[in-house]
Amino acid sequence: MTHTHGHPTRVAIIGTGNVGATFAYSLLTSGLSSEIVLIDANQSKAEGEAMDLMHAVPLGRPTR
């Protein structure tokens, strides 16, 4: 888990279109963040992308 000055690193991604979803996946697999927050005007889309990322967790490093 990555920490900045002893604190967990949380990254918020606004927009879960192609670019936002790809960035979230890249961030997940890089292990540079301890938590990823997805924000989108379409809440169902953000929740779906979050579920996809949670299924990818075994392939990446531990990120919430």
Task: Please report the domains of the chain, with CATH numbers, ordered by start residue.
Answer: 3-59 (3.40.50.720)
pLDDT at 2 over 70: no
At 7-41, the pLDDT tens digits run: 789 999 999 999 999 999 999 888 888 899 999 99
CA atoms in the 13 A half-sphere facing the CB of 27: 23
Q: What pTM did the predictor assign?
A: 0.77
Going by C-beta distance under 8 Å and a sequence separation of 6 or more, which residues neighbour residue 9?
2, 3, 32, 33, 34, 35
